Chains A and B, each alone.
Chain A
Amino acid sequence: MTLSLPTTEPAARPGLVELALVFNKMTLASFGGGLSAWAQRLIVEDKRWLSDEEFLSAYTLARVMPGANQINFAIYVGNRFQGVPGAVAAVLGLTGIPFCIIVALGYAYVHYHSTPALQDILRGIAAGAIGLTFSMGLKTGEKFFRQPVALVFAALAFAGSIMLRMPLLAVLAILIPPAFLVAWRRPSRG
């Protein structure tokens, strides 16, 4: 069982090279999907650069702002520790090698067609990556299992997104104001 320690400061302040290397590792690990789950695993569990709370709020910020979620998250983490150069290093680490891979795939696509065996393999990997994504939600969420109010907000966000097919911005616009007010009236930290 993983204890989520309320660490407000990371063990060590990562430099530019380490930022690029960790985001590169994250991006290469995410073959078949699940990049956000890898982000939680590497940045929060392994490196302890961010607490669970800061990770989740930064993750949501990254989703709300325009641009790819993972790139926005890399910008947040890079900027948090090394300013704009850190953001550039993290984005280069995240996108550099995948960009080369995708260009090679684009070249291959022009010349070959995807084989059935490859699609079978990718389907298996996708099943694992979906499990990784669910586990990330459960790991970061299990401390709320005994907090009814938090569970209600998590359930409403899920229901709005899946059952009502609402756009992300609509879900957030409806849920953030009441969630903010509840947390504002009942400060549980600090």
Chain B
Amino acid sequence: MSLTAPPVPYFFHRLRLAYSGLHPERVHSLVKASDPVEAVRMIETGRVKVSPAAREAVGVPAERRMEELASSGVTVALLGTDSYPPWLAAISDPPDLLFVRGALPTLPGVAVVGSRRATRYGINLAKAVGAAVGRRGAVVVSGLARGIDGAVHQGVVEAGGRGLAVLGCGLDRWYPVSHRRLGEALLDNGGGVVTEYPPGTVPEPWRFPVRNRIITGLSRVVLVVEAAAGGGALISARLGLEQGREVLAIPGDIDRATSRGCNELIRDGAMPVLGTADLLDLLEQEGIISQLGAGHRGFGPGDAEGGLEEAIGEAGATLEVLAERMGWPLTRLLVSVGELESEGRITRESGVIRLKKEHGRNG
């Protein structure tokens, strides 16, 4: 919807409430107790205790907020209107407002999530999944976080697919900052970036689990690529189940902490995915992707952000593989590898470079 024509009652007040910075659940209960107008008044009069900054933020007139949003290219989708995705509206606690940059999808997508502290195994899988699904035209939803999320988006971008990133902060910033270019690439490819938080909201740890319900809510299928026990990705899986989404997981080594979450999900009934073909089959059954248009393309160069050591990974890597993963010019890579070696951080044997401190698993 466009900001020039606010359609439903209380839009202005809902918008002002969003700027309060309160937990969405808290806002929701306030609104539920009376209505948005009353909720704003309660904050303004101090009957609801909030920080002075929050009260001040709520006090800013909605017209000014809308001007700000319009000038920064952000649109707002309001729950209950046509522009709001109905499958998101159907979850138990949908956000009242969605701040949107780029496009909102017209169909439910595929959530692909996982640990921020991912292994190279997980990163590769995430990229491959993002590329495979993106290439088939489905919307790939993730959180633009470090690790798996970022790799998923990267895969989508490289395959020329459409991705949707759900942020845990305002649209006036990127978190992590290093994923700024990735986020912009998503937008350039016709994807979108959304959040329930108004511009100016800084990333705080508690906001991320909350936004996970939007990631799953915007999707019909939730795939957990790699997750340790008790990670945020498992929260997404649980939310997905509660929202009636199909939850899938990619298995990993049973003795590795980084695979524990996924393996437990599978034990508890999540469908194991043993490859992109598996996943695409399921997506076809779910009607998320059509069976046509399965064109295949090679992958592009790797993520230039990740560090070289991360690219070497636990299993070690050859120079060819590193060149691909880093996407660097060869001489730059060789000099960097030489530096790591001079610092005694890697060993080389038979062309395979391994991190020294890790007890490398041999292939």
Q: Do A and B bind each other?
A: no
